[in-house]
Structure 1
Amino acid sequence: MTIAPESLVAAAGQLLLPPAGTVHTLTPGLRARAAAVLLRMALEQALDAYWKRVTPRMTRIGKHRMLCLEWYAERDTARRCRTTWAALSAVCHYRTYELPPSPAEIQGRLHEVTALLTALSGGPEPTPVGRHAGA
């Protein structure tokens, strides 16, 4: 069963800003880390959906789909995907010598992932850009 990227983003938002009256059983740092995992999953699913529209063979190639994105999407979108994915990946890994991410930091990533979901799903049908555009 696959959960829609938008649902993952909404769940991350609820972890970061729980409704009033909610009993807080998790620390803010743990909630922020869990939200980061959900946001990274949402971004990866959005990339899979994007590549299924462009070329289905690119969906499970790992980091190559991120590297090749620059040739098919706008360069700014590709750069934002790389930096956001890298930042979320860094905070998803638990290290005993680092402080957990702050909810405010992950809230900023939530806004970025929301914008990337729109950029990857909207607009015209993806076509190669750059030097391969006319080929």
Structure 2
Amino acid sequence: MLAHARQLLDGSVPLPAGTARVAAAMLIRRALEELAAEWSGCPEATTRSQLVIAARRLPPTEAERACLAWFALSEACHHHAYRLPPNPVELVRWLSVVGGLPAPHP
């Protein structure tokens, strides 16, 4: 999913800029949600609950980065008539944060 988000951000996939940025945010958020489900071991729980559980299993800085990224991405993914889509700098930062999080242990 993160590779597809990168393609949207670098223009490899031809979409209007605003649409591409929102789609990239959704893909990055979904990748983070999949990690949270694996970290928590509770795929049926809400993402917020999964992140609380994951915070007990991850180093504190990683848990904080994951939570902050998820909240920011969730805000970016919701349509607001008065808001612009996330800017590319924010998206690249979130992509970097999610891509740098540790993989779940089996």
| Equivalent AA in structure 1 for residue 103 of structure 2 | L
Q: Identity across aligned pairs (percent)?
A: 31
- Measure how far apart 1:13 and its partner are: 0.3
Offset from partner CA, 1:3-27 (integer Å, 9 cap, x none): xxxxx000000000023xx6x4x32
Q: How high is the TM-score relative to the length of structure 1?
A: 0.70
Quick check: 1:74 aligned with 2:59?
yes
Give the equivalent residue in structure 2 for 1:132: none
Show the 5 A alignment for 1:86-125.
86-116=71-101, 119-121=102-104, 125=105
The 1:68/1:50 distance shift into structure 2, 3 A limit, reads closer
Moved over 4 A (4+): none
Quick check: 1:16 aligned with 2:9?
yes
Q: How high is the TM-score relative to the length of structure 2?
A: 0.88
Quick check: 1:61 aligned with 2:54?
no
Gaps of 5+ in 1: 1-7, 53-57, 127-135
Give the equivalent residue in structure 2 for 1:32: 21
* Alignment root-mean-square deviation, CA: 1.8
Q: Number of paired residues?
A: 105
- Measure how far apart 1:46 and its partner are: 1.3
